[in-house]
Structure 1
Amino acid sequence: MMMPELTVSVIAAGAVGGAIGAIARFLLDRYLRAGILLANTIGCLSLGLLVGLVSALAASGAADDQAQWQPFAVGLLALGLTGALSTFATVALRAALKWTAGARWKAVGMWSIHVVCGVAAAVAGLVLGWQLAV
């Protein structure tokens, strides 16, 4: 069960995770030159890891869905923390600004590196999560 029933505890967990993720993204962006790239890559890796872990546990029949993926954990980690940490909207805005300023190759390069790193991190997370579960 990846998407939990919407309850007050799931919303609260999402809010707490979202606050932590947003603060982490802000700090990464403020203090590191490639902070948004790092935040997006970590977000993709984390979500891939969580999905891989849960998928492997479900496939192995090690436990039922409720024991594997508690709604509070989904809200806190998957919906809140990872959702707020990764921000492709910021990349879109920065790429659009570069594009309209005439730096089109930089805009395309920015998008390309974020997409490649994000997909690679998500795949690595899926594989790692699967391996940790079995």
Structure 2
Amino acid sequence: MTTTLSLAVVLGVALGGAAGAVLRLLLDRYARFGILVANTLGCLLLGFLYGEFSALTSADAVPDNGLFSPGVVTVISYGLIGALSTFATVSLRAAQRWVDGHRMQAAWIWLVNVVCGFVAAGIGMGLSGLVEL
């Protein structure tokens, strides 16, 4: 997927990124395992978005406007989902545990986040075939 890099797309990604970062902060502060929830939700949404967009492109029916236009997909995937699900936070948490001598906990943090991410992305892609948008 290629998108024309326009001012509207750049601003959309910036606004989506701001919204995703705030949502990640709120999940981290107020939800147990908030970063895991944010990463898993991001993988689910990205899997769904990818599944929907790839179904459209394989049918040669990519709309120029609407929810699955290349510009909107770029804004949602790079902006909102990219900022919501960041594995940099997971890396920091795991590194902190590792340095503190909690090596098994550090490995567990990574393993759970990666496995949940793969499973959620697969579920999202599967759901994309079931949902009519």
TM-score, reference length from structure 1: 0.90
Distance in 1 between residues matched to 2:104 and 2:16, nearest whole Å: 35
Of Structure 1 and Structure 2, which has the larger fraction of its residues in helix? Answer: 1
Distance in 2 between residues matched to 1:38 and 1:82, nearest whole Å: 13
Q: Which residue in the other structure is 2:29 paired with?
A: 30
Aligned sequence identity (%): 48
Matched length: 132
Residues 44, 86 of structure 1: 8 Å contact kept:
yes
Q: Which residue in the other structure is 2:73 paired with?
A: 74
Give 2:62's aligned amino acid. Answer: D
Distance in 2 between residues matched to 1:98 and 1:45, nearest whole Å: 27
Residues 55, 130 of structure 1: 8 Å contact kept:
no
Q: C-alpha root-mean-square deviation of aligned residues, in Å?
A: 1.8
User: What are the equivalent positions in structure 2 for 1:77-116 lying under 5 Å apart?
Assistant: 77-116=76-115
Distance in 2 between residues matched to 1:44 and 1:114, nearest whole Å: 10
Distance in 2 between residues matched to 1:71 and 1:6, nearest whole Å: 11
Q: Which residue in the other structure is 1:44 paired with?
A: 43
TM-score, reference length from structure 2: 0.91
Can you give the 5+ residue segments of structure 1 that lack an aligned partner in the other structure?
none
Residues 52, 129 of structure 1: 8 Å contact kept:
yes
Can you give the 5+ residue segments of structure 2 that lack an aligned partner in the other structure?
none
Distance in 2 between residues matched to 1:31 and 1:64, nearest whole Å: 39
